[in-house]
Chain A
Amino acid sequence: MKKFAAVCGSGLGSSFMVEMNIDKALKELGLSDYSVSHSDLGGASPSMADYFVVGRDLEKPAAHLGNLIVLNSIIDYQELKDRLEEVLKNDGLI
C-alpha cells in the first residue's frame, strides 16, 4: 500500500483540503491500495508516507521528508491530479 500525506504550516487548513483532493484524484486515476493523511510540518516525519504533497512555500522546510510533490497552487485540483498522474506513472503504479 502506498501512503500519501499532505503537509502544511498548521495541519488543519490547506493540508486538509489537499488531503480531500488527493483522495479524489487517486480514485479517478484508478489507484486502489492507498491511504491519505494530513499533518502540520512540525508533526510530519519521513516514515509517515511514501509521497508528501506540499505547497511551494514549504518546498525547502519540508525537503527532509523525502519524496515531495510540490504544488504551485495548493488547492488547484487539476494541477494536483496532473502531478500525481506523472509521479504514479513514473513509479509504475498506474
Chain B
Amino acid sequence: MSAFNFNEENVLLKQELKSWEEAIREGCRLLEKQGKVEDVYADNIIQKVNELGPYIVLCEGFAMPHARPEEGVKELGYSLITTEEPVDFLGNDVQIILTLAAPDNNSHIDLLQQIVELANSGMLDDIKNVNSLEELNKILNS
C-alpha cells in the first residue's frame, strides 16, 4: 500500500516548465489550492535554494522542494509534477518534482520512507515516464 494518495488535485504529468523557480511555484500552487500551504511557501523555498544551493535535488532527475513548517506550511501535503523535458535545477537535470509540505518534524516519515524505497528500487525512472494517474498509482502500489 502506498503512503501517497495521488489524484487530480495534486498531480500534473508531462508539463512544460521553463525554470526551476517555475517548477517550484507550480508545485506550491497545487498545495495552496488544497489549503496545505500559504502563498509565501514558494518564495521561501526559492530563497533558500538561492542561499544554500539545490539542496532539494535528492538524486538524478528528482527534486523534492520543501522548507520548514514555520515557513508557510498549514498541514501535511504533497504534489507531484513530471516534465516533458528536463528542467535545469542549478546544474541538475530534473524531471520529477515532488513538492512537500511538512507541518512538523515527524508526520511525513512514511512519505519519506517510500521515496527512499522508490529511489533505491529504480522506480523513479518509471514515474518519470507515466502518462496517466492510473499508471502512476499502479507503480506506487506495486
Q: Which A residues are closer than 8 A to B by beta carbons?
A: 8-14, 16-17, 20-21, 40-41, 55, 57-58, 61, 73-78
Interface positions, chain B 47-82, Cβ under 8 Å from A, are 48-49, 52-60, 64, 66-69
8 A-B pairs within 8 Å (CB atoms) are namely: A9-B56, A13-B102, A17-B112, A41-B52, A57-B53, A75-B59, A75-B119, A78-B120
Which single member of A11, A17, A40 contacts B116 (CB below 8 Å)? A17
Is the beta-carbon distance between B116 and A75 smaller than 8 angstroms?
Answer: yes
Q: Which B residues are closer than 8 A to A by beta carbons?
A: 48-49, 52-60, 64, 66-69, 100, 102, 105, 108-109, 112-113, 115-116, 119-120
A8 to B65, CA, bound (A): 12
Is the beta-carbon distance between A13 and B52 smaller than 8 angstroms?
Answer: no
A24 to B66, CA, bound (A): 24
Shortest CB–CB separation between residue B127 and chain A, in angstroms? 14
Which single member of B68, B69, B109, B120 contacts A75 (CB below 8 Å)? B120
Is the beta-carbon distance between B52 and A9 smaller than 8 angstroms?
Answer: yes
A77 to B120, CA, bound (A): 7
A91 to B66, CA, bound (A): 35
